Amino acid sequence: MKPVALFVTCLVDQLYPRVGEAAVRVLERAGCTVAFPEEQTCCGQAAFNNGFQEEARVLARRFLDVFADAPAIVAPSGSCADMVREWYPHLFRDAPALLDLARSVASRTFELSEYLVRVLGVTDLGARFPATVTYHPSCHGLRGLGLRDEPLGLLRAVRDLRFVELPAAEQCCGFGGFFSIKFAALSGAMLSAKLDTIEASGAEVVTATDVSCLMHISGGLSRRCSRVRALHLAEILAGS
Amino acid sequence: MNRPVPPGDGLVDDPVALFSERAEQVGISVITVGTYDEAVERAVALCRERRVQRAALWDTPEMAPIRDRLRAEGVEILDPRGSFETLAGAEIGITGAEWGVAETGSLVLSAGPGKPQAASLLAPLHIAVLRSDRIVPGLATLLERCGPLPSALVLITGPSRSADIGLVPVLGAHGPTAVAVLLVAGLFLGDSG
Amino acid sequence: MPDHPTRIDLIRNIERALRDESLQRQMGKAMPASRRARADAVAELPEWESLRSAAAGIKDHVLADLEKYLRQLESQISALGGTVHWAFDAAEARAIITDLARSRGVRRIVKSKSMTTEEIFLNPALEAAGARVVETDLGEYVVQLAGERPSHLIAPVVHKPTEEIADLFVKKLGVPRYERPEELARVAREVLRAEFLAAEMGITGVNFAIAESGTLVIVENEGNARLTTARPRIHVAVMGVEKVLPQLADLSVFLRILARSGTGQRASVYVSLLTGPRRAGETDGPEELHLIILDNGRRRLLADPDLRGALRCIRCGACQNECPVYQHAGGHAYGSVYAGPIGAVLTPAYEGLERARDLPFVSTLCRACADVCPVKIDLPGMLVELRARAVRTGLASWRDRMLVGAWTFFTRSPARFMLAGSLGRLAQRLVARGGKIERLPYPLSGWTAHRTAPVLASTPFRTWWKSRQGEGR
């Protein structure tokens, strides 16, 4: 049994607990013992991306304390995992006492599909999901963590799932954290282009590795009264 | 900080074949001939087909046979050492090309006395005569060998083009609408005439 | 800086762009096509990544020893009979060039496309000095006729549909209405050919300058730069200090990455390597060659370790083509000469963060730009850095401070986080209908203007987790 600490992320905790529950089931199915360190809150990405690095450092310090001893930290979010991996060492570059810890925690932090495929070597989780599904590769997972084949391999192994390609899949959905509020109309235009491709794909379900992008996409689909549903990859992998 | 060594060209099995393929892809017509005499014949034939009345040629020994033949056909040869305005009246420009670049399908022309840039630039049709043994695999090799540099060394990769209006590619934006190369495949002996 | 008096109103510019249907149509067509062309051209080269690393390495090497290479370039150009002028800022550069024109009695000037001369607002200064200045790149010519500025590094008129150009030609040139691009191009060719023949001075930018040989390299597709440098008696080339390369051998790397990144070509149609003015016995090429080496904020950027990498930029336009924000906002929205991701870095760096405070924020940090940049500029990292500087220097808006303040207050401990959740669940009773929220009040109203908002779950994850642990599973 592989021990992992789940970093569920703030959005999942309060808005999409079912994604967290699914992630737990999937990890357990893959042979992990899941712990949930209850002192966790938020990785600080929202503040960091908006330029508030002092505030981000406070949250990052908290994260480092909470997960200092975790053997592996797994998050159902490419952007949060990328925040820890890419930017924590940057945030503490002038604090030698914390830099080593930041690097060490960074090296132990993974996005869910990344952990399943790259670390555990698992692609088939015995899931069944009878629907037509397309996949939006979230930017930070795709270009930050280099996740291309991992999520697709997992989807391909799901029984009864019909996979369809998403046109221009690698285009950003326009979320970008506070960007979606500051530049709401621009973000909306980018979203609209993404929704057009999702609807054109013929999928009944669009999936991704990040609830942030999915919150954006599902908000747009719901405003359009579209029949396409947005589900996190973990929810599909937990299907049986 | 040491200057990083720029990578050289990749291996190219057959530079002449690659040059021909890629030059065609960018819109340069490649006319392969066995001898220089044949190149002269083809150049004259091209002018005849197009009913060329005025031509601009480089003033080099290599161009002399073409010049003489065209003159004999009644084509006016514009003074290669004349003004830009004069050369702007040409319907065809015929030049040499010092090098060919296989990777990009480019012709390389150097400026010099009797070798005005105007000859490869102003007329709607530009024809260059290139020896196949002057084709290098890529830009790195070219830049190793092309010195000492003339006042202008120009790499030409296709007809003048622009896609500025409506994203539609248009040929002949400012320079030639068509470019052809007479590729002399055999050894170049310069013994015609 | 008098050239840049006011704050760039990015939000308003973007809203205007989003309402401009022809712009959206045009960009929606052009940008994906450019992305595909680049991807195909790059996929053909197995050594692409090593070329990028080499290019970045050579640029960093030059930047580390910039003054040495610039002095070498100057002495080579002087030895060839050219003249080098040093300009600290835009005003100095304008003064040098207008003085050259005035002292030599120049009345007619042709220009080939140059972002650096856009940066120094050269054309109005020359016109004020009594010279007629004509842009000769087809796109730039259209931009000039329309009284606009270019909106893209290599496709200056990408924002303009053909019908508008057709109307513009009728109005400005008095020609019949031609609608096909090739007809419009032919009209421009004829008008501009006459300008070339009459011009006394040609002004160009410089893509690369080779220190060891004093060679200026100009890359183009149309042939207008060749005409600009071959015909007029005087050639004035304007380059930023960062354009110098040590040796001719370095050039192959940059030529290979520039054309493929910019237009998806293996090579641009014309690459001119110009080494000094016209030589004895030659009948074209300039009699006088002047090189203006411009600082205009570049050495300040060089001294900035977090941002100096932006000086590697070779102005290929790939980051613009790839950027979803640029595609929807268009180049003009960025309010300055450089648009897109590189503009969001360069404009604050050159013109001040105060004026350009919003620019670093207009990105989702999707990193598409960093993936394609042929000289590996860490654009997202620089945007993040500039955002931090904006916040540190008090340029963050009240709304941002409030949102981030509230966020960090409530995420500082699980207890506060749960409290926030409870408060939110109470509040959302007022606005949630059918498991979603159609309208939120300021400062979140922007979200619901374009999408519905999710509701907070009745049972947070950690509550579920606790009860699951309690059950002993």
B147: closest CA of chain C, how far (Å): 9
Same domain, A47 and A88: yes
Chain B within 8 Å of C136 (Cβ-Cβ)?
Answer: yes
Give the pLDDT of residue B186: 72
Question: Are C136 and B162 a contacting pair, CB within 8 Å?
Answer: no
Q: Last residue of some domain: A117, A133, A159?
A: A117
Tell me the torsion sign for CA atoms C107, C111, C116, C121: positive
Total domains, chain A: 2
Chain A within 8 Å of C210 (Cβ-Cβ)?
Answer: no
* Residue range C122-174, pLDDT digits in tens: 999 999 999 999 999 999 999 999 999 999 988 899 999 999 999 999 999 99
* Residue range C370-387, pLDDT digits in tens: 999 999 999 999 999 999
Mean pLDDT of C282-307: 97
Q: Structural domains in chain C? A: 45-296 (3.40.50.10420), 413-470 (no CATH)
Structure tokens at C248: 């001719």
Q: How far is CA C223 from CA C82, C186, C226, C230, C307, in A?
A: 23, 14, 5, 10, 35
Same domain, A49 and A104: yes
Q: How far apart, in whole angstroms, are the C-alpha atoms of residue A175 and residue A19?
A: 19
Give the pLDDT of residue C471: 79
C435 has a pLDDT exceeding 60: yes
Same domain, A129 and A111: no
Phi, psi of C85 (to 5 degrees): -120, 140
Give the pLDDT of residue C473: 54
Mean per-residue pLDDT of chain C: 96
Chain C within 8 Å of B161 (Cβ-Cβ)?
Answer: yes
Higher pLDDT, A230 or B188: A230
Q: Closest residue of C to B4, CA-based?
A: C58
Same domain, A36 and A99: yes
Same domain, A129 and A233: yes
What strands, in cross-sheet order, belong to the sheet with A229-232? Answer: A159-163, A128-135, A205-208, A229-232
Give the pLDDT of residue B193: 33
- At which residue do the structure tokens 């790839």 appear? C322
Do B164 and C156 make contact, defined as CB atoms within 8 angstroms?
yes
B192 has a pLDDT exceeding 50: no
Q: Closest residue of B to C50, CA-based?
A: B7
* Confidence bin at C177 (pLDDT 50/70/90): very high
Give the pLDDT of residue B191: 43
Q: Closest residue of C to A63, CA-based?
A: C412
Size of the A and C interface in Cβ pairs below 8 Å: 205
Q: Chain A partners of C18 at a C-beta cutoff of 8 Å?
A: 185-186, 189
Q: How far is CA C368 from CA A139, A144, B110, C232, C323, in A?
A: 8, 10, 40, 42, 6
Chain A within 8 Å of C408 (Cβ-Cβ)?
Answer: yes
C1 has a pLDDT exceeding 60: no
Same domain, A81 and A128: no
Q: How far apart, in whole angstroms, are the C-alpha atoms of residue A20 and residue C471?
A: 18
Q: How far apart, in whole angstroms, are the C-alpha atoms of residue B98 and residue B105?
A: 14
Do A216 and C451 make contact, defined as CB atoms within 8 angstroms?
yes
Do C417 and A41 make contact, defined as CB atoms within 8 angstroms?
yes
- At which residue do the structure tokens 């606009």 appear? C148
Do C246 and B3 make contact, defined as CB atoms within 8 angstroms?
yes
* Residue range A41-50, pLDDT digits in tens: 999 999 999 9
* Residue range C178-198, pLDDT digits in tens: 999 999 999 999 999 999 999
Q: How far is CA B23 from CA A54, B101, B181, B188, C285, in A?
A: 57, 9, 9, 21, 27
Same domain, A112 and A150: no
Helices (runs of H) and strands (runs of E) counted in chain A: 14, 8
B144: closest CA of chain C, how far (Å): 6
CATH assignment at residue A85: 3.40.50
DSSP letter string over B96-132? E-SEEETTTTEEEEE-BTTB-THHHHSSSEEEEEEEG
Same domain, A8 and A106: yes
C67: closest CA of chain A, how far (Å): 30
Same domain, A204 and A131: yes
Q: Chain A partners of C381 at a C-beta cutoff of 8 Å?
A: 90
Q: Last residue of some domain: A86, A117, A148?
A: A117
Chain C within 8 Å of B95 (Cβ-Cβ)?
Answer: no
Mean per-residue pLDDT of chain A: 97
Q: Last residue of some domain: A117, A141, A166?
A: A117
Give the pLDDT of residue A85: 97
Q: How far apart, in whole angstroms, are the C-alpha atoms of residue C291 and residue C211?
A: 13
Q: How many Cβ atoms are within 10 Å of C168's Cβ, its own excluded?
A: 16
**Residues of chain C with pLDDT > 70: what percent?**
99
Q: How far apart, in whole angstroms, are the C-alpha atoms of residue C460 and residue A113?
A: 23
Q: Chain A partners of C471 at a C-beta cutoff of 8 Å?
A: none
Chain A within 8 Å of C95 (Cβ-Cβ)?
Answer: no
Give the pLDDT of residue B166: 87
DSSP 8-state secondary structure symbol assigned to residue C470: H
Q: How far is CA C101 from CA C105, C125, C203, C240, C245, in A?
A: 6, 11, 11, 21, 29
Same domain, A152 and A58: no
Same domain, A30 and A75: yes
Q: Chain A partners of C455 at a C-beta cutoff of 8 Å?
A: 15
Do C328 and A50 make contact, defined as CB atoms within 8 angstroms?
no
Q: How many Cβ atoms are within 10 Å of A225's Cβ, its own excluded?
A: 6
Q: Structural domains in chain B? A: 15-161+172-184 (3.40.50.10420)
Give the pLDDT of residue A1: 83
Same domain, A112 and A28: yes
Q: Chain C partners of A40 at a C-beta cutoff of 8 Å?
A: 414
- What SS3 state is found at B188? coil
Which alpha helices (H) appear in C263-397, and where do they start and end? 298-302, 318-322, 324-329, 340-351, 368-372, 379-392
Q: How far apart, in whole angstroms, are the C-alpha atoms of residue A235 and residue B183?
A: 64
Four-point Cα dihedral B15, B16, B17, B19, nearest 10: 80
Residue C49, judged by CB atoms within 10 A of its CB (0-12, 13-18, 19+), counts as exposed
Closest partner CB to C411 (pick from A42, A49, A183): A42
ipTM for the whole predicted complex goes beyond 0.90: yes
Do C276 and B151 make contact, defined as CB atoms within 8 angstroms?
yes
Four-point Cα dihedral C296, C299, C300, C304, nearest 10: 140
* Confidence bin at C21 (pLDDT 50/70/90): very high
Closest by Cα among B65, B61, B60, B67 to B92 = B67
Do A179 and C384 make contact, defined as CB atoms within 8 angstroms?
no
* Residue range B43-86, pLDDT digits in tens: 999 999 999 999 999 999 999 999 999 999 999 999 999 888 89
Q: How far apart, in whole angstroms, are the C-alpha atoms of residue A13 and residue A33?
A: 19
Structural domain range at position A41 = 2-117
Give the pLDDT of residue C227: 98
DSSP 8-state secondary structure symbol assigned to residue C113: -
Amino acid at C144: Q
Q: Closest residue of A to C452, CA-based?
A: A219
